[in-house]
Amino acid sequence: MKSLLTIDSWPSTHAAAAVLSADGTVLGTHGDPHHRYALASVTKLLSSYAFLVALEEGAFELDTPAGPEGSTVKHLLAHTSGYDFAERTVRFAPGQRRLYSNAGFEVLAESLEAATEMRFGDYLSEAVLQPLGMDSTSLDGSAAAGATSTLQDLLSFANELQNPTLLDTQTHSQATHVVFPDLAGILPGYGRQKNNTWGLGFEIRSEKSPHWTGLQNSPQTYGHFGQAGTFLWVDPALEAACVTLTDQPFGPWAVEAWTPFNDQVINELQNR
């Protein structure tokens, strides 16, 4: 796909991108598929999948209390616990506002560790990384933003997202559709959103504007971007996923580059 060559003009030392169809076919790839990149908040996609596996295994339930008083596992996954972005300071009552929170994911990891008596990194590896053959991926820090991975490994994960094998399809569907709808909030890097839609750990594009995906991405698109200059989206309407990794921290360059890039990718998908 010629659109992927665009990443060569971005202000990063290394960059890699790929597009994967829902049937598992790699439609295009550019850059070293084995170079390891810090994922930043794209880590939340991997951690969320581990939390969802834990739900199915009965380690906890969505309504299990976790976090601030009145908050549950579901609130933490959906960024509605009321926790501050980085600190365990409660800013809002649970379910009142979509307040994106790294602290909430760290509390979730601690809750899972208490329930399973396993380090979260070990649980993530056994529940998600090893089964998907993601041997070049590691969690080196926070469950919210501490993973390192490669394009090749994230293609395996993107394939899992489009063809779930580790989760029941009902769990997967619930996670990738909006929970706690009609909540306002700030989408980091893109400002206030009247309806800051989120699933269970997955950001849902819906009608957000501005946004890091393409203008032509469907409202059903889900995924995440990271401050390390990384993103992964799955668009069920297009029946395709896109993974893009750089080593240039997110900033104005990404706001300017990512939406046109994604629209070029979509144009190629629609015209193939």
Neighbours of 271 (CB within 10 A): 6
d(CA 247, CA 229): 6
What CATH number has the domain spanning 2-271?
3.40.710.10
Task: Classify strands 222-226 and 203-204 as parallel, antiparallel or unpaired.
Answer: antiparallel
The answer to whether residue 202 scores a pLDDT higher than 90 is: yes
Q: What's the chain's average pLDDT?
A: 97
d(CA 30, CA 16): 6
DSSP at 182 = S
d(CA 59, CA 111): 9
Structure tokens at 146: 């501490």
Domain residue spans of the chain: 2-271
Say what percent of the chain tops pLDDT 70: 100
Looking at residues 93-120, what average pLDDT do you find?
Answer: 97
Looking at residues 32-52, what average pLDDT do you find?
Answer: 98
What pLDDT does residue 272 have?
A: 82
What pLDDT does residue 190 have?
A: 96
The answer to whether residue 205 scores a pLDDT higher than 90 is: yes
